[in-house]
Structure 1
Amino acid sequence: MLEDLYAAAAARIFEGAIQPALYALGLMDWAEDAYEWLDFAIFGLLTIVAVYAVCRPLEAWRPVERWESRGPVRTDVIYTLLARLGLLPMIAFVLFATLQARWEGWVAESGFIPPTLETLLPWLREHPLWALVFYIVVLDFGEYWRHRLQHRFGWWWALHSIHHAQRQMTFWTDDRNHVLDEVLAALWLGGLALLIGVPPGQFPLVVLVLRLAESLSHANVRLSFGRVGERLLVSPRFHRLHHGELSAGEHGKNYAVLLPVWDWIFGTADFRREVYPRTGDPEAPEALATGGWWRQQLVGLRRMATAIAGGR
């Protein structure tokens, strides 16, 4: 039922607005690609609405900090709109379409059948809900290690430090990332999803769960899940320690996106429950903390080039 409503809404928007524009511009050869992009944009809009509905009331209820000026937060809103609605979904689509075509071509030519989760655990085929849970757990494990590598390699940290430079952290901060960093993250998550065989119909649900968890963990809210809950799900308090002034670079703590168990297993967990530190990397240039979107992108690229030249 929901899928039918979603498909009908997408078709109405495409036929009423996008298709006539493509026709007028003589770009009907791109109609199929434009429809795929529209699918990304609508899903991104629904994600923003869901995140706002959950996180904004929490931030108004019990904020950790209040600020006279929210200029840097408005910059993060721009990041979110670009990441969820516009440029980045289109880039991700082109990259994934190419990757998937090459992967399927290689599989067809070689006769190799990749060992997906459902081939390793055949009973998952008859239990789609459990399969979804397994996919989320595996992809969350992958996201933990991607996050650690972002802090480990100097060139990658030069990009990721844009995210950590924010001193006014809110749920909008989740998407505060360099474009190149977003592309690497999309390739990482999408590549792992293809490798373990996540069905196309379930992948958006996996992404939605991880997005909601990430946005909530960045929220400016004094919220802990308690001694037991903090070990089951990443809370705003747990992740705020990761963004604290003393937790930047490769010596950080609390890298997990959804499940803190990865931090516990690999010795990077900090479960102090009543600590809500100030956020923002004190070593980040001022441009990364208060500059506009375009300036932060340029500074991030320069810092990455410097790190590569220095062998980091």
Structure 2
Amino acid sequence: MLQDLYATATGWIFEQAIQPVLYALGLMDWADDAYQWLDFALFGLVTIGVVYAVCRPLELWRPVERWDDGAPVRTDVVYTLLTRLGLLPMLAFVLFASLQARWEGWIADSGFVPPTLETLLPWLREHPFWALLLYIVVLDFGEYWRHRLQHRFRWWWALHSIHHAQRQMTFWTDDRNHVLDEVLAALWFGGLALLIGVPPGQFPVVVLVLRLAESLSHANVRLSFGRLGERLLVSPRFHRLHHGELSAGEQGRNYATLLPLWDWLFGTADFRREVYPRTGDPEAPEALVRGGWWRQQVAGLRRMAAAIAGR
């Protein structure tokens, strides 16, 4: 029902606001692309609304820190708006449209049908809820390893360090990433989802669940899920240890997005329950700490180039 309502709203906005403009400008050949762009933007707006409704009251309830100067947090808001409503959807659309065309052409020519989770486990076709949960678990596992690699490779850490430079961490910090890092993340996540055969109708739900979990884990709230809960779901306390001043680079811990199980299995978990360290990378340059969006993007590219050159 919600999916039908969303589709109806998207269609109405497109017909009333976008299609007439395309027609007047003689750009109707771009109608399909414009509709997909609108779909990206509206889903991003819905995601921001859900995250704000959950995380903002928690931060007002029991904040870990309070700050007089909120400029760094406002920069993170800019990141979120650009990522969820504009810049990243545009880049992702251009990249994935090309990759998808190549992928589908290769499959058509070769006759190869890639295996999916439903191919390996046929009973999932009759149980969409359990299939959804399994997709979330597999993609969460993939996100754990992507995150570890971000800390492992110096060139990738040079980009990811923008995320760790924030000393005023809030739920907005989730989107504080370099554009190139976001593109790599989109390719990683989208490629894995394509590989395991996540249905188009379930993909937005998977994204929303993991997005909410990741934003909540960055929230400026003194919140632990208890001795048992901390081992079932990533909490703000659990992930704050990952952003602590002594947890930068290869010294990282608590990498998981949703399930601490991965940190426990691979020896990177820290379950101390009452520890809420100061956040931020003490070695980060001022450009990454207090610079605006553009300044941080340029600094990230320079740091990546220096890392590749071995400096």
> TM-score, normalised on structure 2?
0.98
Tell me how far apart the structure 1 counterparts of residues 65 and 20 of structure 2 sit (CA, whole Å): 47
Query: Where does 1:97-136 land on structure 2 (aligned, <5 Å)?
Result: 97-136=97-136
Residue 54 of structure 1 aligns to a residue in which SS? helix
Shift of 1:194: 0.3
Shift of 1:13: 1.1
Shift of 1:27: 2.1
Counterpart residue number, 1:172:
172
Tell me how far apart the structure 1 counterparts of residues 21 and 69 of structure 2 sit (CA, whole Å): 39
Residue 95 of structure 1 aligns to a residue in which SS? helix
Residue 86 of structure 1 aligns to a residue in which SS? helix
Tell me how far apart the structure 2 counterparts of residues 97 and 260 of structure 1 sit (CA, whole Å): 34
Tell me how far apart the structure 2 counterparts of residues 37 and 220 of structure 1 sit (CA, whole Å): 32
Counterpart residue number, 1:38:
38
Shift of 1:119: 0.5
Counterpart residue number, 1:10:
10
Deviations 1:1-44 (A, max 9, x none): 22221111111111122122222333222111010010011010
Deviations 1:230-262 (A, max 9, x none): 000000000000000000001100000000000
Tell me how far apart the structure 2 counterparts of residues 139 and 3 of structure 1 sit (CA, whole Å): 22
Runs of 4 or more off by more than 6 Å in structure 1? none
Counterpart residue number, 2:292:
292
Deviations 1:55-84 (A, max 9, x none): 000000000000001100000000000110
- Corresponding letter in the other structure for 1:100: Q
Counterpart residue number, 1:204:
204
Tell me how far apart the structure 2 counterparts of residues 21 and 156 of structure 1 sit (CA, whole Å): 41
Counterpart residue number, 1:214:
214
Counterpart residue number, 1:92:
92
Counterpart residue number, 1:307:
307
- Corresponding letter in the other structure for 2:160: H
Query: Where does 1:252-271 land on structure 2 (aligned, <5 Å)?
Result: 252-271=252-271
Tell me how far apart the structure 1 counterparts of residues 191 and 295 of structure 2 sit (CA, whole Å): 30
Counterpart residue number, 1:162:
162
Counterpart residue number, 1:59:
59
Tell me how far apart the structure 1 counterparts of residues 26 and 154 of structure 2 sit (CA, whole Å): 45
Tell me how far apart the structure 1 counterparts of residues 175 and 23 of structure 2 sit (CA, whole Å): 33
- Corresponding letter in the other structure for 2:202: Q
Deviations 1:159-181 (A, max 9, x none): 00000000000000000000000
State the number of aligned residues: 311
Counterpart residue number, 1:193:
193
Counterpart residue number, 2:22:
22
Deviations 1:271-300 (A, max 9, x none): 000000000000000110100000000000
Q: Is 1:150 matched up with 2:150?
A: yes
Tell me how far apart the structure 1 counterparts of residues 107 and 296 of structure 2 sit (CA, whole Å): 40
Deviations 1:75-132 (A, max 9, x none): 0000000110111112112211222221121112112121100010000000000000
Contiguous gaps of at least 5 residues in structure 1: none
Contiguous gaps of at least 5 residues in structure 2: none
Tell me how far apart the structure 2 counterparts of residues 103 and 50 of structure 1 sit (CA, whole Å): 33
Tell me how far apart the structure 2 counterparts of residues 83 and 215 of structure 1 sit (CA, whole Å): 14
- Corresponding letter in the other structure for 2:12: R
Tell me how far apart the structure 1 counterparts of residues 147 and 25 of structure 2 sit (CA, whole Å): 42
> TM-score, normalised on structure 1?
0.98
